[in-house]
Structure 1
Amino acid sequence: MMLLILKSVLTVLALLATCVLLPQLPLSLLRLVLRGVGWLVQKRTRSRREYIISRVRADEEEHATRTKAASATNSGDEEDWEKVDTSSSSSGTAGINRNEEWDGIIGFFHPFCNAGGGGERVLWEAVRATQKRWPKAICAIYTGDHEVNKAAMLERVQHRFNITLHSPTVVLLYLTTRKYVVSSMYPYMTLLGQSLGSLIVAWDAFNLLVPDIFVDTMGYAFTLAFSKLLFPSVPTAAYVHYPTISTDMLQSLDDQTGLQGVNSGAGKGLKGQIKRKYWIAFAKLYGWVGGHVDVVMCNSSWTSAHIRTIWGPSRQTNPHKDPTVIFPPTAVSELESTITVSPETERTRQPLILYIAQFRPEKNHPLLLRSFARFLQERRNQNADPETEPKLVLIGSVRHASPDETHIYNLRLLAHELRIRDQTTFICDASWPTILEHLATASIGVNAMWNEHFGICVVEYQAAGLISVVHDSGGPREDIVIDLGDGATGFRASTEEQFAASFEAALALPVEEKVAMRLRARKSALRFTEEEFHAKWIEEIGKLVR
């Protein structure tokens, strides 16, 4: 353990030393040196690039041969990949004709693409949208998931998200340095450590392949600035799920309630003051980095507001200086067609509270468990019918050989200590059909994370007709569980008491009002369809293609 800590500290010190020494060079000379290094990298990797392209084209020919040999019925879906979606391009007919045959390489930087969370759904939907719009383009995914080959990866994407991809034009490029962006690598100065560590991983990625367009879909903004300094002619894009640092984080240092995340109230004393100065300095560096990104996409109004605040001053000369809000894609259409919401189906709903979220500390499962325990105890104190006692189901992905496994073990212990073990069910890495089954039968959908950047699961609740009870912060408050003019679409809460009261209020609604709220929520969810995501994604990436 001590050796690991020593290694991580030495790594951070070495990176910090580099950051201190490099600025001593004149900025113009430094840029010239980095461009020279980038030219050498492109030259050294040219043969691998040519091999990847030839391999993809050979796979496409083989795929086309198999398609022709298949029956017309089975080949219909495959032929869809040859239909180019041009409906959402904003550049006019001439632009469409010029760009629809683009056959370059888009590099997606997503080292944890097999994690199975909302960020991964965005990644794979982005790949699908790209394939539909530019069927000859190659989608190269930089990943550290060595244990999964392409066939297994795409099968998991289909199994977990119900997303079918065109295999020949998907390429997985395996990173060997992913450990440098793992938070446990940096017990101190984690934000800076991970950000500088991402430069090591990006260097690894570029030495595998220099793409024609480089897109970060996981939040490692430093890699985009690094790319721009090495390869000025390579356009870059960021899909920001969550700002690495935000003004809310800085404000949480002074919070006295303990409700604002893991650093709530951490600004006290000498250690707190050092942390505050470190965060302020990092925020300035993060803002400078954001100025190097060509196109910025944000997953919510909340994220966009913070990115405008932190990145805005550095982006004033950028032709695409303002971030575009592109809500994450959710299977709204499928949920609407699969799950019926009516007075008749209300009888099939169970008093079940559902939480779909990755089993990670930031998702704040303990708050939900304690709130549920309080809710059950209050019901029992009122001598409620034990036959109709509510149940809690927690569904989420778990990254194996990671802290996630320890986290879910501790959650099970907490459920036992709270005496709700028999009323609580944990389901890890559930398939899409399993998720659908629970969405169809549950009554309440909950999200307990403070400042959830968006909340794909909340949209899934709404589309499935569940009554949402969400944390009164972040994306769920700003974009999802809002009154669109015809009434409430759910409940918002912050404390154990408020969550427990919201559970009681939601289950106690008359049948007519329950159905009415479910239908209002379902109508609200139409703002977050896969089709809406595809159209906006294509528009933004189209700027880089042009």
Structure 2
Amino acid sequence: MLPQDMRLHGLLLLTAVFAIPFLGRLGARLIGWRLFRTTEARRGAILATRKREDEEHVEKQRVLSNSEDADWVEVESRPAGSAPNGGQASDEWDGIVGFLHPFCNAGGGGERVLWAAIKATQKRWPNAICVVYTGDHDVTKSTILERVAQRFNIHLHPPTVIFLYLQTRNLVLPSTWPHFTLLGQSLGSLVMAYDAFSLLVPDIFIDTMGYSFTLAFCKFLFPNIPTGAYVHYPTISTDMLNSLDAETGKGVNAGTGKGFRGFVKRQYWHAYASLYSLSGRNVDVVMTNSSWTQTHIQSLWGPKRTKRRKPHAVEVVFPPVAVDELEEAIDLDGPKAVLRERILLYVAQFRPEKNHDLILRSFAKMLQADLRDAKLVLVGSVRDDDDRKKVYALRLLAHDLKIEDNVQFACDAPWPDVLNWLRKSWIGVNGMWNEHFGIGVVEYQAAGLICVVNDSGGPKADIVIDYDGGPTGFHADTASEYAASFVQAFSMSEEATLEMRKRARASSKRFTEEMFAKKWVEQLDKLIDIQRRAPK
């Protein structure tokens, strides 16, 4: 038999093994309960403000002869809580959906998804309140919504959109974490999530920017709050790990896996991948923007979600694109068709991963093929000083390549200007390696441009594919391949060019705002069902 003191120590150790996790969970629940109690007053104020603004908005709509969005006539004409046939609406829901999107005013493709999701939510559940946790302190609610209407032509119902302003957004900026950036941003997101919950505890919590650690944190504090993720791209993936061994053209980390520093980076990335996999195991509903993203998220989160017996599979919900608007605004043939110019158009935010450098070098190579009248137009939003520095560096590169007279920058262009470029351009370009989806590429297709995209990611797997028996564009990887594709796109016969434009437009119908809204409502309905069934 073991001595009594050894048995006592063993008993204490065994007690600690079971007690520490229990005490940790108990502590988290107490913190969650405290956050809920301290934000109850704000919840009441939001509900009261919403009611007042809704009444004011309805009165304003009665005065105006034309509504900003005809869709709202149907919503507002129905009394709250009633069904279209006059009966009781058993499926009506009036809870609060919290959207974590700290850069909601950025104006990119991720923001279009956010606003389209909120619009779809408002139309399906007009009594629900959509709260956006943002760090955009320098803009008001009206300014943000005006920009949404201007940039995306998405008109929202103001009374049920609430903005709560975070104080800790700087903790998820890459510049805050010059070393171990991925881990630093993830840890920073936990503080930001606490910041969000201290402002308001929602009924449903959805991350639309990729901060998956915040979803795990939400479940830790509030086990009964349903969580959802709309994943634009995995924070880390096997492709990223493999890129460490690549020499060129495989992302911003290509070839950085060499030497001692490369070894450390590789081990760090593998360790982070394990943590990232854990962060997604408790997410109730997972949506991805492409089949490429779905494959990676399924490989990272799928096994652990299965162990947790999560009933809902990872679903692809393609981002919304203004396909119908583009088709209506741009005629491809007939008397109203616009005479297109030899313009290559690249619509993308000015960030390093968008690989504008590759497109500039490719364009320079193309100009050597006696196409001196061609023009490259770079359209994109500029969010901060880093983006402005990137634009300056690109201007310098264009000067060094002696193509500055053939390159035009259109920074922070409003939607009418973007539409005009889409109307008259010949080729639509995408240069990012492993672009998670590529909303801009779908816009190219809907506008009838000939697409030349990177031979990877969503543009290759989901968008620029064969359709109706023929190709809808070209794939390229190197500067030489891009230049050759540009030349080929300009050199096709008029008949072949028109046929490709029409195939591309027909293919783009898979990505309409209507299709997105339908899929979004299906997924949010799952979260609402979980919320209704959860213990109160």
Q: TM-score, normalised by structure 1?
A: 0.90
**C-alpha contact (below 8 Å) 2:101/2:133 kept by paired residues:** yes
Is residue 301 from structure 1 mapped to residue 291 from structure 2 by the alignment? yes
Q: 468-477 vs 337-346, which deviates more? A: 337-346
Q: Which residue of 1 aligns with 2:229?
A: 238
Q: Which residue of 1 aligns with 2:114?
A: 123
Taking the aligned partners of 1:144 and 1:73, their CA distance within structure 2 comes to: 30
Residues 544, 23 of structure 1: alpha-carbon distance in 2 compared, 3 angstrom cutoff: farther
Q: CA deviation at 1:72?
A: 7.1
Name the count of aligned residue pairs. Answer: 507
Taking the aligned partners of 1:338 and 1:274, their CA distance within structure 2 comes to: 53
Q: 1:200 aligns with which of 183, 191, 212?
A: 191
**C-alpha contact (below 8 Å) 1:343/1:512 kept by paired residues:** no
Q: CA deviation at 1:58?
A: 1.0
Identity among equivalent positions (%) equals: 56
Q: Which residue of 1 aligns with 2:532?
A: none
Q: 314-323 vs 477-486, which deviates more? A: 314-323
Q: CA deviation at 1:377?
A: 1.7
Residues 183, 23 of structure 1: alpha-carbon distance in 2 compared, 3 angstrom cutoff: farther
Is residue 63 from structure 1 mapped to residue 57 from structure 2 by the alignment? yes
The SS at the match of 1:26 is helix
The SS at the match of 1:545 is helix
Which residues of 2 match residues 62-101 of structure 1 at below 5 A?
62-71=56-65, 78-82=72-76, 100-101=91-92
Instruction: State the 4+ residue runs in structure 1 displaced beyond 6 angstroms.
Output: 22-25, 72-75
**C-alpha contact (below 8 Å) 2:129/2:162 kept by paired residues:** yes
Which residues of 2 match residues 98-109 of structure 1 at below 5 A?
100-109=91-100
Which residues of 2 match residues 18-57 of structure 1 at below 5 A?
26-57=20-51
Which amino acid letter does the alignment assign opposite residue 119 of structure 2?
R
Q: Please list every run of 5 or more consecutive structure 2 residues that lacks an aligned counterpart in the other structure.
A: 1-15, 79-83, 530-536
Which amino acid letter does the alignment assign opposite residue 477 of structure 2?
S
Taking the aligned partners of 2:237 and 2:427, their CA distance within structure 1 comes to: 31
Taking the aligned partners of 1:83 and 1:483, their CA distance within structure 2 comes to: 44
Q: 2:412 aligns with which of 425, 429, 447?
A: 429
Taking the aligned partners of 2:17 and 2:436, their CA distance within structure 1 comes to: 34
Question: Computing the radius of gyration over CA atoms, which structure comes out larger, 1 or 2?
Answer: 2
Is residue 312 from structure 1 mapped to residue 302 from structure 2 by the alignment? yes
Residues 357, 183 of structure 1: alpha-carbon distance in 2 compared, 3 angstrom cutoff: same
Q: CA deviation at 1:173?
A: 0.3
Q: CA deviation at 1:100?
A: 3.9
Q: Which digits, 9 at most, give the CA deviation of each residue in 1:89-124, with x for residues without a partner?
A: xxxx99x97554211100000000000000000000
Q: TM-score, normalised by structure 2?
A: 0.91
Taking the aligned partners of 1:201 and 1:37, their CA distance within structure 2 comes to: 15
Is residue 392 from structure 1 mapped to residue 376 from structure 2 by the alignment? yes
Residues 370, 76 of structure 1: alpha-carbon distance in 2 compared, 3 angstrom cutoff: closer
Q: Which residue of 2 aligns with 1:442?
A: 425
Which amino acid letter does the alignment assign opposite residue 304 of structure 1?
Q
**C-alpha contact (below 8 Å) 1:351/1:390 kept by paired residues:** yes
Taking the aligned partners of 2:386 and 2:311, their CA distance within structure 1 comes to: 39
Is residue 481 from structure 1 mapped to residue 475 from structure 2 by the alignment? no
Residues 517, 346 of structure 1: alpha-carbon distance in 2 compared, 3 angstrom cutoff: farther
Measured on the aligned residues, the alpha-carbon RMSD in Å equals 2.0
Which amino acid letter does the alignment assign opposite residue 352 of structure 1?
I
Q: CA deviation at 1:78?
A: 4.0
Residues 30, 408 of structure 1: alpha-carbon distance in 2 compared, 3 angstrom cutoff: same
Which residues of 2 match residues 371-410 of structure 1 at below 5 A?
371-379=362-370, 389-400=373-384, 402-410=385-393
Q: 1:290 aligns with which of 280, 300, 324?
A: 280
Residues 261, 23 of structure 1: alpha-carbon distance in 2 compared, 3 angstrom cutoff: farther
Q: Which digits, 9 at most, give the CA deviation of each residue in 1:182-209, with x for residues without a partner?
A: 0011111000000110001111000000
Taking the aligned partners of 2:452 and 2:336, their CA distance within structure 1 comes to: 21
Residues 270, 83 of structure 1: alpha-carbon distance in 2 compared, 3 angstrom cutoff: farther
Q: 484-493 vs 452-461, which deviates more? A: 484-493
Taking the aligned partners of 1:458 and 1:35, their CA distance within structure 2 comes to: 45
Residues 394, 83 of structure 1: alpha-carbon distance in 2 compared, 3 angstrom cutoff: farther
Residues 73, 228 of structure 1: alpha-carbon distance in 2 compared, 3 angstrom cutoff: closer
Q: Which digits, 9 at most, give the CA deviation of each residue in 1:25-70, with x for residues without a partner?
A: 7323212211111001101111111111111111111112222344
The SS at the match of 1:348 is coil
Q: CA deviation at 1:23?
A: 10
Q: Please list every run of 5 or more consecutive structure 1 residues that lacks an aligned counterpart in the other structure.
A: 1-21, 85-92, 380-386
Taking the aligned partners of 2:246 and 2:121, their CA distance within structure 1 comes to: 43
Residues 527, 434 of structure 1: alpha-carbon distance in 2 compared, 3 angstrom cutoff: same
Which residues of 2 match residues 249-328 of structure 1 at below 5 A?
249-256=240-247, 258-316=248-306, 317-328=308-319
The SS at the match of 2:130 is strand
Taking the aligned partners of 1:500 and 1:51, their CA distance within structure 2 comes to: 58
Residues 295, 341 of structure 1: alpha-carbon distance in 2 compared, 3 angstrom cutoff: same
Residues 125, 253 of structure 1: alpha-carbon distance in 2 compared, 3 angstrom cutoff: same
Which amino acid letter does the alignment assign opposite residue 411 of structure 1?
L
Taking the aligned partners of 1:365 and 1:155, their CA distance within structure 2 comes to: 29
Q: 137-146 vs 56-65, which deviates more? A: 56-65
Taking the aligned partners of 2:72 and 2:236, their CA distance within structure 1 comes to: 43
Q: Which residue of 2 aligns with 1:353?
A: 344
**C-alpha contact (below 8 Å) 1:393/1:426 kept by paired residues:** yes
The SS at the match of 1:30 is helix
Taking the aligned partners of 1:226 and 1:504, their CA distance within structure 2 comes to: 51
Taking the aligned partners of 1:288 and 1:97, their CA distance within structure 2 comes to: 42
Taking the aligned partners of 1:300 and 1:447, their CA distance within structure 2 comes to: 16
Taking the aligned partners of 1:265 and 1:25, their CA distance within structure 2 comes to: 46
Residues 278, 388 of structure 1: alpha-carbon distance in 2 compared, 3 angstrom cutoff: closer
Q: 2:453 aligns with which of 453, 466, 470?
A: 470
**C-alpha contact (below 8 Å) 1:343/1:511 kept by paired residues:** no
Which amino acid letter does the alignment assign opposite residue 397 of structure 1?
S
Q: CA deviation at 1:347?
A: 6.7
Taking the aligned partners of 1:72 and 1:346, their CA distance within structure 2 comes to: 30
Q: 2:165 aligns with which of 166, 171, 174?
A: 174
Taking the aligned partners of 2:481 and 2:105, their CA distance within structure 1 comes to: 35
